[in-house]
Structure 1
């Protein structure tokens, strides 16, 4: 057994592997690919939906079937154990990289020393030896260019852009906060769907997906009332937009908030967001002769993808031995009436009536249903905070960390500088400093001997 493989050395080796840049990039690409998969494959749908849209024969792309989707959790990608494991591993890699590379780099950048020997200048990206020079003149020139300057006897050190060294750390911190916010949302949030007819009140119950700690987020002390649902149509009869007038009410019936929602304009209350996503037809209100008003439910018919049609059967005799079929395709107020032989007898609009078998059938209203997608994600503010830090860190990273050294010794003046980015513009700046320094000393000084290493 190799005695060098101590627990401490194994831990260091593990951290070294975890902090590897190639591993972090591979994990990030894997997370990106899986996230894209989660947007391509519909999430949190019913088993029937996946069986209909991803059949075993023919399989999509030759392998993607509903069984594969369900078995591997592609119907709820973002809460699978393997996706969460990737997030945790990527976060661990970022943390290891921050502590083993970025923080030491910042610490090294904050530590500096004066150069006391001419040979020390030879290793710098830009170095020059002048016949004459003045530390005092150089201090003035560097301060004009926003450098922070330290001076000791015949030596000088200056720098600017230390923020550029802090930037990558802020980027890593922002990414970690984004990951934490995303995972917090997965564990504490929920996703629900409701189809509610106009005039009805509901509590959020149809939970499609929820985290293990989501119970406090699911409201039990308030409900939502659908005051009205309607659709605006274009001149061609196509749907332009659909709207839901919603009220949040407490258990005593008092209205807490009211808002009309439509696509991309949700209602937000108490950390819960209600989106307008779908619609349907719930019922028709009809009157037979002078009878009371009947509200008869309708059902969506299977048209083999030929369009949306809802239908119901209206009895015309008390014993229900005969009646008519009513078909509706939208909320524009028109219904088609078919007799028992399946023949189209008439088309009526709201407030109109038709007489069949001596019975006057009057269409009073077509009641629509609003399809609501309801979400609660407590991790969103955390994600936004992390994203803001990420953007700030990216901007900070663009600042160049530039350093300058100078030494007066033996009637010679040594000058050297380096930076971590924007090398060309930095060299132009430093050569300008050298020229200004030479001009300040004497107009008769010979051209400085410079060497770019």
Structure 2
């Protein structure tokens, strides 16, 4: 819609939908018929959302500029965020756990429903991101819809305002004075001492103070938008990493989130305990009921893969750093930080079994099984061999009595062995072997597998963190707080002193705290012949209250 509204008082051309002339303040069109106190929240300017509603762009703009829509988006986002905290998110469950099993076993039916609805990985889901994006779009459009016309109106305003504008301010009054020049000069001096900025035109005065506070809410919005951008960037590859890696002694592992560029070797891991005989800590250790860890440390070597090298090939790795990683003493590399967070002592790494003749007790051979990478079969020679038919690193029987595993970590390893020898048929004999369990699967066996030994090692747990979004979040938070202070602790106050023939008109407006504005005007009226203007809103409310009291008496 391209219609313009020309003010017949000052000739200023206003955008369609303007209620008060941006220059002289004269009420326009339907606003001229209303004699109530003017709503000065947006200076009577034309907001796009209130004047355009034809195209799809207009309808989308109007939808997101609505305060109600913004509130609903905030409520929905908060509710969704609360749902995501009922149970731990997938990133916080024990490493190696199958989420579909973990949530069901830990939290029952509620956990299974939580998983099936996708709430276990909610903060990275498309619909949660859509809510955050919608909230950001709503803040942006609502701000532009209001701040642009408001800035234009405040920038365009003249000192001399239309009488209809002044009469419909909340604080308004007029009276005769014997010497208008002297009264205005005193008023100017008093208001300047109160830090008002004075503008003059044709002998009229405009005293203005704290205009910058009007932009506080929009600075709030800008800070929130930057904050939300930072939050959304966390789900873009390479911007945010918060993962865990377990590295066994002597093992080299790729650092998660680095795209295979960096590797870490755990040369040694150790734990130091407080001395129970130390008088300083003896009482505290006794209260703890057992040994207390003083520190745990990983002696780490950092490698970088050569450009063009094969991922995982140790020959392509170049050592770039060595460091002792302790709690609160991370290793830092290329925006990544590796924190010491957990450990596991004496984890099973290798188990040995001997294949024996059950009747004679003769040992037919030994197999050594790498619990993290077991081979499919082991040849013992002389026609004897063992095949691992099934392997359960963390064995348990499920509800149907079927062997299963809770994770890939060998905390409770169990095997189903298929044993072959010259005295048995091609199908061999089966045996189920777990810790303190050794049983035939099909009838009596001629052979059996006997436990021969175990090797353990220590495992360190490191948290890998990278956060390139933190500057956005910090800047957004700082800007938000600036806007909060800006809009909360200051107010935009304006006082108009204007000639009207033989009388002086006084009007005042502030976006909040009218008592402060009236005290400032009172300081002028106490020193001049200008009379204190009336608070028209307060008088109206008092009159309505009196009428209500009278009606109840009748």
**Could you say whether these structures have the same fold, taking a TM-score greater than 0.5 normalized by the shorter chain as the test?**
yes
Cα distance in 2 for partners of 1:169, 1:388 equals 14
Unaligned residue ranges in structure 1 (runs of 5+) = 1-5, 208-216, 286-293, 303-308, 314-338, 342-360, 439-444
- Provide, for residues 310-360 of structure 1, a one-character-per-residue CA deviation record: whole Å limited to 9, x for no partner: 7899xxxxxxxxxxxxxxxxxxxxxxxxx989xxxxxxxxxxxxxxxxxxx
Pairing 1:125–2:170 present: yes
Contact 1:419 1:426 in 2 (8 A): yes
When residues 390 and 7 of structure 1 are mapped into structure 2, their CA distance, relative to the original with a 3 A threshold, is closer
Aligned to 1:269: 333
Q: Is this contact kept in 2: 1:116–1:155, CA < 8 A?
A: no
Does 2:465 match 1:400?
no
Query: Do the aligned partners of 1:105 and 1:165 also contact (CA within 8 Å) in 2?
Result: no
Q: Which has the higher contact order (CA 8 A, sep 6+)?
A: 1
Whether 1:434 aligns to 2:515 is: no
Match of 2:86 among 19, 35, 40: 40
Structure 1 match to 2:77: 31
Q: In the alignment, which residue of structure 2 is the partner of 1:415?
A: 506
Return the offset for 1:224.
5.3
Q: 1:7 to 1:129 in 2, by over 3 A?
A: closer
After TM superposition, the structure 1 = structure 2 runs for residues 57-68 of structure 1, keeping only pairs within 5 Å, are 59=109, 64-66=110-112, 68=113
The 3-state SS of whatever aligns with 1:106 is helix
2:453 aligned with 1:389, yes or no? Answer: no
Whether the 8 Å CA contact 2:493–2:511 is kept in 1: the answer is yes
Is it true that 1:12 corresponds to 2:65 in the alignment?
A: no
Q: Does 1:150 find its partner at 2:241?
A: no
Q: Distance in 2 between matches of 1:187 and 1:56?
A: 31
Figure out how many residues of one structure are paired with residues of the other and give that number.
370
| TM-superposed deviation, 1:72 | 2.9
Residue of structure 2 equivalent to 1:195: 246
Give distance in 2, aligned partners of 1:108 and 1:173.
21
Give the whole-Å Cα distance in 1 for the aligned partners of 2:175 and 2:301. 79
Counterparts of 1:41 and 1:406, CA distance in 2: 64
User: Superposition pairs for residues 51-90 of structure 1, below 5 Å?
Assistant: 51-55=101-105, 59=109, 64-66=110-112, 68-90=113-135
Give the corresponding residue for 2:269.
Answer: 228
Determine if contact 1:225/1:249 at 8 Å carries over to the other structure: no
- Deviation, 1:429, is 2.6
- 1:441 alignment counterpart: none
The answer to whether the 8 A contact 1:196-1:226 is kept is: no
Taking the aligned partners of 1:221 and 1:421, their CA distance within structure 2 comes to 58
TM-superposed deviation, 1:119: 4.5
Query: Aligned partners of 2:270, 2:479: CA distance in 1, in Å?
Result: 41
Inter-partner Cα distance in structure 2 for 1:257 and 1:161: 57
Match of residue 342, structure 2, among 278, 285, 293: 278
Q: 1:232 to 1:161 in 2, by over 3 A?
A: farther
Measure the CA separation in 1 of the matches of 2:173 and 2:535.
Answer: 8
- Partner residue of 1:138? 187
RMSD value over aligned CA atoms? 4.1
Structure 2, gaps ≥5 residues long: 1-51, 275-283, 305-316, 350-367, 373-392, 397-409, 415-434, 438-452, 537-554
Residues 336-394 of structure 1: CA distance to partner in whole angstroms, max 9, x if unpaired?
xxx989xxxxxxxxxxxxxxxxxxx9x9x985322223233322222222222112221
**Structure 1 residues 301 and 246, CA gap change in structure 2 (3 angstroms):** farther
SS of 2:70's partner is helix
Q: Which residue of 2 aligns with 1:378?
A: 468
CA contact 1:204–1:219 (8 Å) conserved in 2: yes
CA contact (8 A) 1:283 1:297 kept: no
Task: Tell me how far apart the structure 1 counterparts of residues 260 and 474 of structure 2 sit (CA, whole Å).
Answer: 24
Contact 1:167 1:395 in 2 (8 A): yes
Q: Secondary structure at the match of 2:526?
A: helix
CA contact (8 A) 2:250 2:267 kept: yes
Confirm whether residue 186 of structure 1 aligns to residue 186 of structure 2: no
Q: TM-score, structure 2 length as denominator?
A: 0.57
Which residue matches 1:21? 67
Aligned partner of 2:222 in structure 1 is: 173
Select the residue among 140, 160, 163 that pairs with 2:209. Answer: 160
Of residues 398-407 and 372-381 in structure 1, the stretch that sits farther from structure 2 once superposed is: 372-381
Alignment CA distance shift 1:57-1:113 (3 Å):
closer
- The one-character-per-residue Cα deviations of 1:32-86 (angstroms, maximum 9, x if unpaired) are 2222332332222466355244359952xxxx342x3333321211111111111
Return closer, same or farther for 1:11/1:111 CA change in 2, 3 Å cut-off.
same
Give 1:139 deviation, angstroms: 2.2
251, 254, 259: which one pairs with 1:218? 259
Q: Using the alignment, how far apart are the partners of 2:517 and 2:77 within structure 1?
A: 38
For residues 259 and 145 of structure 1, the distance between their equivalents in structure 2, rounded to whole angstroms, comes to: 62
Higher-Rg member (1/2): 2
Contact 2:217 2:487 (C-alpha < 8 Å) held by counterparts: yes
Q: How many angstroms apart in 2 are the aligned matches of 1:140 and 1:90? A: 48
Q: 1:278–1:138: structure 2 CA closer, same or farther, 3 Å change rule?
A: same
Instruction: Assess, with a 3 A threshold, how the Cα gap between structure 1 residues 367 and 150 changes in structure 2: closer, same or farther.
Output: same
